[in-house]
Structure 1
Amino acid sequence: MTTQLDAPGAHDPARAAAASADTASRPETRGIELVADAERHGRARDLVLVWAAPGVSILNLTVGATLILLGLEVWQAIAVILAAAVLWILPGLIAASGPAAGTSGSIITRAMYGVLGNRVFVTFVGWLIGAVYMALTWLASSFMGADLLRRIGIADPVWVPIGVTVVVAAITILVAIFGHALILSVYPILAAVLLVLFVAVTVAILPTVDWSYAAPAPLEGVALASAISIGFTILASTPLSFINSPDIARYLPRSTSPWRIALATAVGGAVPFTIFTIVGVLLATGLDAAAVAVGIDAALFDLLPAWLGPVLVAGVVLNTIALSAMTAYTSSMALQAIGLRLQRIPAAIVVGVVGTALTIALVLTSSLLQAVNLMLQFLVIVASPAMAIFVVDVVLRRVRYDGVELFDDQRGGRYWYTGGWGLPGLVALVAGGAAAAVCLATDVWVGPVALALGVVDLSVPAGMLVAGILYALLQRTPIAKDGRP
């Protein structure tokens, strides 16, 4: 059978010249459409620095400082960080599905949820994760930019952070419009620049670190388990949220080793995540709890040399653009997967408008520390089961996805399942989300299981295990229909 991927002429020079469409000098018009074999390019190792650029982030410093606020000792906080970093292998594993299918992850998930069920999934899960992360990264740059401007006399508490948000959002969406090739070309440079900057910040704060730090009231028993579990949940939400990793890898040649893709993605995400979250832990040891609670952004400014503060703000803005542009890029394809008749570029603009509105709402109602911790914890209710189902599907199918069949959205297609709904995936997702919710412990919600355990948060393992195991078991039942792995 002739397919879009193997159409006549796919390997002739004229068709190969189409690869120039994926170039950093022009906007990328391709959205969820299949990437033909002749248009594939790149190596798995290119993904390392692409994923490193978003990871060199002030959000990691913020989360690291939170672990000290929770009452953990330094060594305990570092152990929790290392445990959470292992989860980066999961977005690596699902990234391999991108080159296999040749399309966006928001289309690949039709294999899990069915044609119609996937629209619901992408709307409420894919979009929710993207909106939360984009808003959090823009929020970080808004607070730090506003603090810098306050120090030079521009101090309006409302319009200054809103103005910073709008400027950063505009640049972010411009990067998302140019798309994959610009991301692949510029992010390695951004990663190098940000690495140098954050190393300089680390060196500047080292004299303030209290190397003999001990928690004021050492935790034991249930109290210690509670602090460790809540810290792990906050940290785990970062790798678990990147269900968009197939979108970044989809242009790689089909022959690229899935394990190389998984390793490159995992290393690129895990290394900066680990290093700079540990830096956040060390930073918090030299500050009193009140200073950290007010905001790690303001505390940082007071510790840095006068010349380094503005440079750090520029770095935070660059990091914000790196992370949120990747999110906006993949979210634009999610809009298309939902079924909206939008080209990718207009879809990216819509994503930017929605993200800007959410960020402004957060600017007016919360501090950076409060927003980061609360939203990252609630994120795992949807992120942990969604990631588990995707990973299990990739393993069961042995990374074999047919892009042409994924685009067959007619009744009777392989992924039409039961009236358009993939019941194993949807049942597992809801069950996993419910399991995560009852095991979650936040300032505004403590699930009954978490409460019974003494406010111990087991939302991540509960959500992942229930969703992953249930999905695998349901694939062996009649409700899996014709698309089972």
Structure 2
Amino acid sequence: MQKNKLVSKDIIPVQGKDRVITGIGFFNIWVGMAVIIATFMIGGNGIDSMSLWEVAGAIFIANLVIALIGSLSGDIGIEHGLSFAAYLRAPFGTAGVHLPAVSRGIVAAIWFGIQTYLGALAINTLVAKMTGFDSWFIWYVLFAAVQIINTAMGIKAIDRFAVIAAPSIIVISFWILFKMTGMAEAKGINVLTYEGTANTTSWFLIMVANMGFWSALAIDIPNITRYIKAPKGEKSWMKRNWSSFWPHVTALPFVQTFMGIIGAVSILGAGNWNPIEVIQGTASGWTYVILLLMVILAQWSTNTAANLIPAALTFVNAGAGIRMSMVTGIVLAGVIGTIVQPWAILNELFTYLGYYGAILSAVAGIIVCDYYVIRKRRLNVKDLFREEGQFKYDGGWNLAGLIAWVIGGGMALYFMEYMYLVGFPVGFIAYYALMKGWYLNKHKQAEVESNYSDEYLGTTVGRDWVIPLEGDSVHTGKTA
């Protein structure tokens, strides 16, 4: 039997019995992902030009839109148990998938490096003041190793960590906001009535920048949602996706907005968007311990679910032919995130966010169009794992998806100020036009030709997709 280069145990669909995350668990994971030190910078960059309420509104609206898009793409994991990279074979082909998937994987790995670097800096500052030992790189290596080990232990370990991290982060964040508000009041600034006087940015730019911040996770969230418990045989989209939907639209917008507010108030109180650095200047004793805990929990909880898992799965998907393991993919993500020197990228964070947010916004439009409009949530899952199946297209490349990505991503880059607001709809429309007017006639898709038969649904009809790990033989089955 010939070795199937599209199959490995970490990218085949997750079975119902292996879906271990509840709605509360996913909420905790989202809280952990949404709280990162870099988020403070988003709010800090807007407060000079507008009121705190305007900053909060821009951040909230941006993240609510991203949360809704994440809920839509999350159904891929809920319905079919598929990871982002495995599904991407449908709109891009079994070979073409690696361009957008690995691009996203590298971005996630870079974010891992940025997060780990920020955490290492804070840890080093705290420890150096307390003990005199000063070496941020040592802390970087140790902190990276701990996060890699935790992620390699699997989704259950991440879920358990989130139970501790999420409430701790929220409590400490309120304490930090209280400290920053007090510093602003000491300068005679009422944060609730403050009106920005500069003209360095606009409400719209802050809103668009925030959309770019989480644009990547909005499209690869199936990596997590495929582990969320969902009622089998449930026809209603909302009821089936409820444990994914409500954490999306609550945790991300509200927590991200709260973090942006802290960064803005920190600017008002101390002229520095990073409250951790501000409090370090006057802290001692238990205050140091609290700050250290915040830094560790915030970076750690984000990196495991939002960066290491997405990066590793794209690398595992690309390395399926050599049976790359998830652990190897996670370690590779850590190595890539380090060798790109995240400390250099951090200085150009918003430029970096803009470029990758623009490029990936078109991928989001393509995915939503492919899944909901072209296939109407039906998917010939077995052929995703067949080298000679319908997703081979032209030598493994779906030219419609690739051309739509170039058009959508290119337009988003050209209109950088509007980025996601351009890339998403242009990618969506271009893909729809190319598939309907050209590619579906050339490459018939079973789920479309069947007039969208329920044979190609998963959770909705109580089906688990079962993909053998050896050979090319693939079948489906329903669990009791």
TM bin (shorter chain)? 0.7 to 0.9
**2: CA distance, partners of 1:300 / 1:398:** 52
Return closer, same or farther for 1:458/1:129 CA change in 2, 3 Å cut-off: same
Q: What letter is aligned with 1:333?
A: L
| 1:89 aligned onto 2:51 | no
Equivalent position of 1:216 in the other structure: 197
Q: CA deviation at 1:273?
A: 1.0
Q: CA deviation at 1:323?
A: 1.2
**1: CA distance, partners of 2:329 / 2:240:** 30
Could you list the per-position Cα deviations for residues 39-74 of structure 1 after superposition, in whole angstroms to 9, with x for gaps in the alignment?
4444445322221112123222222112125x2332
| 1:390 aligned onto 2:350 | no
Q: CA deviation at 1:259?
A: 3.6
Could you list the per-position Cα deviations for residues 346-384 of structure 1 after superposition, in whole angstroms to 9, with x for gaps in the alignment?
2211212222323xx233x46x5x343232222212221
Could you list the per-position Cα deviations for residues 425-462 of structure 1 after superposition, in whole angstroms to 9, with x for gaps in the alignment?
2111111111111122xxxxxxxxxxxxxxxx112211
Equivalent position of 2:331 in the other structure: 349
Could you list the per-position Cα deviations for residues 389-439 of structure 1 after superposition, in whole angstroms to 9, with x for gaps in the alignment?
2222232233333432221222xx121222211122211111111111112
Equivalent position of 2:53 in the other structure: 75
**2: CA distance, partners of 1:438 / 1:154:** 49
Task: Report if aligned partners of 1:177, 1:345 keep a CA contact under 8 Å in 2.
Answer: yes
Return closer, same or farther for 1:235/1:475 CA change in 2, 3 Å cut-off: same
Residue 432 of structure 1, aligned match among 377, 401, 408: 408
Which runs of no fewer than 5 residues in structure 1 stay unpaired? 1-28, 441-456
Residues 56-455 of structure 1 mapped to structure 2, 5 A cutoff: 56-69=35-48, 71-86=49-64, 87-124=66-103, 126-152=104-130, 154=132, 156=134, 160-209=135-184, 210-211=189-190, 212-217=193-198, 219=199, 227-242=202-217, 243-251=219-227, 252-253=229-230, 255=232, 257-260=239-242, 261-288=244-271, 291-292=272-273, 297-302=276-281, 307-326=286-305, 327-340=307-320, 341=322, 342-358=324-340, 361-363=341-343, 365=344, 368=346, 370-396=347-373, 397-410=375-388, 413-440=389-416
**1: CA distance, partners of 2:335 / 2:158:** 21
Q: What SS does the aligned partner of 1:401 have?
A: coil
Q: What SS does the aligned partner of 2:47 have?
A: helix
TM-score, scaled relative to structure 2: 0.80
**2: CA distance, partners of 1:314 / 1:41:** 27
Q: What letter is aligned with 1:347?
A: G
Return closer, same or farther for 1:394/1:265 CA change in 2, 3 Å cut-off: farther
Q: CA deviation at 1:113?
A: 0.6
**2: CA distance, partners of 1:137 / 1:420:** 35
**1: CA distance, partners of 2:284 / 2:177:** 12
Return closer, same or farther for 1:466/1:77 CA change in 2, 3 Å cut-off: same
What do you get for the CA RMSD once the two structures are aligned? Answer: 2.5
**2: CA distance, partners of 1:42 / 1:314:** 25
**1: CA distance, partners of 2:329 / 2:18:** 23
Could you list the per-position Cα deviations for residues 12-64 of structure 1 after superposition, in whole angstroms to 9, with x for gaps in the alignment?
xxxxxxxxxxxxxxxxx951123234444444453222211121232222221
Task: Report if aligned partners of 1:100, 1:400 keep a CA contact under 8 Å in 2.
Answer: no
Could you list the per-position Cα deviations for residues 194-232 of structure 1 after superposition, in whole angstroms to 9, with x for gaps in the alignment?
111111212222212322433233x4xxx7xx5333322
Aligned residue pair count = 419
Task: Report if aligned partners of 2:60, 2:256 keep a CA contact under 8 Å in 1.
Answer: no
Return closer, same or farther for 1:305/1:77 CA change in 2, 3 Å cut-off: farther
Which runs of no fewer than 5 residues in structure 2 stay unpaired? 1-7, 449-480
Q: What SS does the aligned partner of 2:41 have?
A: helix
**1: CA distance, partners of 2:202 / 2:283:** 30
Q: CA deviation at 1:80?
A: 1.1
Q: What SS does the aligned partner of 2:390 have?
A: coil
**1: CA distance, partners of 2:102 / 2:263:** 34
Q: What SS does the aligned partner of 2:50 have?
A: coil
Equivalent position of 1:467 in the other structure: 427
TM-score, scaled relative to structure 1: 0.80
Task: Report if aligned partners of 1:240, 1:384 keep a CA contact under 8 Å in 2.
Answer: yes
Q: CA deviation at 1:324?
A: 1.0
Equivalent position of 2:444 in the other structure: 482
Task: Report if aligned partners of 1:136, 1:371 keep a CA contact under 8 Å in 2.
Answer: no
